[in-house]
Amino acid sequence: MVRDVGGESVILDLESGRYFGLNSMGARMVALLSTSDSIQAAHESLLREYDVDSKRLRQDLDNLIQQLLEHGLIEVNRG
């Protein structure tokens, strides 16, 4: 569950009660990851929206995914 709380987005794991705060870029990344067909598709959408280096963006996106996986806040569909 993702919610906006006081200008910050928060992902809440309803089972454990754990949450993870996101800045605006992190929140946009999560939104695109949850609606895109693939990580690459989310990456390409972000490149169109932001003036950022492609390699740096991909690294940041991969790091966010890894952190969310480690905290049990997302699941990756490998299909």
Please give the Cα distance from 45 to 28 (Å, whole number).
10
**Does residue 59 carry a pLDDT above 90?**
yes
- Alpha-carbon 22 to chain mean position: 8
Q: Which domain holds residue 27?
A: 23-79
Residue 10 domain-assigned (yes or no): no
Answer whether 65's CB lies under 8 Å from 39's CB: yes
Residue 6 domain-assigned (yes or no): no
pLDDT of 32 reads 93
pLDDT of 79 reads 63
pLDDT of 73 reads 79
Residue 71 domain-assigned (yes or no): yes
Residue 62 domain-assigned (yes or no): yes
Q: pLDDT digits over 13-35, tens only?
A: 778 877 788 888 998 999 899 89
pLDDT of 39 reads 93
Domain count, the chain: 1
Answer whether 64's CB lies under 8 Å from 26's CB: yes
Residue 12 domain-assigned (yes or no): no
